[in-house]
A and B are shown apart, each in its own frame.
Chain A
Amino acid sequence: NAGVTQTPKFRILKIGQSMTLQCTQDMNHNYMYWYRQDPGMGLKLIYYSVGAGITDKGEVPNGYNVSRSTTEDFPLRLELAAPSQTSVYFCASSYGPSTGNTIYFGEGSWLTVV
């Protein structure tokens, strides 16, 4: 019963390093999302995708890139990590608005940039 799986769970990056957060879902959802949650705050949408090959920016896309080559996978790339990117990152997926758009989240990835 995997659902949405994201890796790694924890990571410490140095300023200027790059990394990719991996995300895969096995629910055949068309829509996938990346959110970030800063300490004590709500969720902010970074990027989302409505299907393979289609991605679009959310509220806070600067410093990130995504790709969606398959329905299952939606990796998030951090280029030139900065301390402001210290956050918890959640990958999520849903069937989309036509079927109620219930979003299912991965367990989160805790990223610290030092």
Chain B
Amino acid sequence: AQKVTQAQTEISVVEKEDVTLDCVYETRDTTYYLFWYKQPPSGELVFLIRRNSFDEQNEISGRYSWNFQKSTSSFNFTITASQVVDSAVYFCALSANTNAGKSTFGDGTTLTVKP
């Protein structure tokens, strides 16, 4: 069975602070993919990043960075110098080849960035 845990239900920061969103996953598969999605107040779901289980390199894209550690089954997401526009619900997800293409989503972390 697959499981994704986002222990932080809500986070509130002040603009320009750095913030890390935690994601811990469980799977018995050796081949799997991890994702982060953003859901702004308008409601749509926006794909941010995908990592496969064989690539533990951290990734940086502008103010966003992702830290994937298989040893701790974690795929954490850091926003540097947060902005009000980063306010959203962020979902971590896991997809394993043996699960017939079904992805498992965490319950989401609501990030509020205050001016």
Contact = CB atoms under 8 A, between A and B. Distances in A.
Given A97-B96, A107-B43, A42 B101 contact: no
Interface string A58-71: 10000000000000
Interface in B39-61: 43-45, 47, 50, 52
Contact of B105 (A43, A56, A107): A43
Interface string B59-95: 0000000000000000000000000000000010101
Q: Which of A43, A45, A50, A104 has its CB near the most chain B CB atoms (within 10 A)?
A: A43
A74 interface: no
Contacts of B12: none
Contact of A107 (B37, B44, B101, B108): B44
Contact of A31 (B35, B52, B101, B106): B101
Contacts of A104: 47
A101 B35 CA distance: 10
Contacts of B107: 41-42
A101 B106 contact: no
Interface string B21-49: 00000000000010101000001110100
Contact of B52 (A33, A92, A100, A110): A100
Nearest to B110: A40
A97 B101 contact: yes
Contact of A96 (B37, B96, B101, B105): B101
23 contacts: A41-B107, A42-B106, A45-B102, A48-B100, A48-B102, A56-B100, A94-B101, A97-B96, A97-B97, A97-B100, A98-B97, A100-B50, A100-B52, A101-B95, A101-B103, A102-B35, A102-B47, A103-B93, A103-B95, A104-B47, A108-B44, A108-B45, A110-B43
Interface of A: 31, 33, 41-43, 45, 48, 50, 56, 58, 88, 90, 92, 94, 96-98, 100-105, 107-108, 110
